[in-house]
């Protein structure tokens, strides 16, 4: 799905020992640091992008360069 931020995927590794968030766009992939995980809400960010993800509804709020976006994402889960 196209969006104004150009984000293709947001991969959340929230159940692993090392919690991390990987974002991909047309230019590649990069990792942003999880800031907090509380209930169904995950907050993550770096100097370019800050996101708030509702893990239950897959709704993503993203902020970059003083612009605020709301995205609705498809959800896939995988556990080992």
CB 32 within 8 A of CB 64: no
Token readout for 47 is: 């100097």
Q: Sign of the C-alpha dihedral, residues 24, 79, 70, 20?
A: negative
| pTM of the entire predicted model | 0.76
Q: Are 14 and 79 in contact (CB under 8 A)?
A: no
CB-based contact 64:71 (threshold 8 Å): no
pLDDT tens figures, 12-56 = 887 767 778 899 988 899 999 888 888 889 899 988 889 999 988
């Amino acid at each position: 799905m196209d969006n104004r931020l150009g984000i293709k995927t947001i991969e959340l590794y929230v159940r692993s020992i090392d919690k991390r968030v990987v974002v991909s766009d047309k230019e590649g992939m990069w990792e942003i640091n999880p800031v907090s995980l509380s209930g169904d809400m995950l907050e993550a960010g770096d100097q370019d992008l800050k996101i708030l993800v509702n893990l239950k509804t897959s709704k993503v709020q993203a902020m970059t360069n003083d612009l605020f976006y709301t995205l609705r994402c498809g959800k896939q889960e995988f556990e080992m």
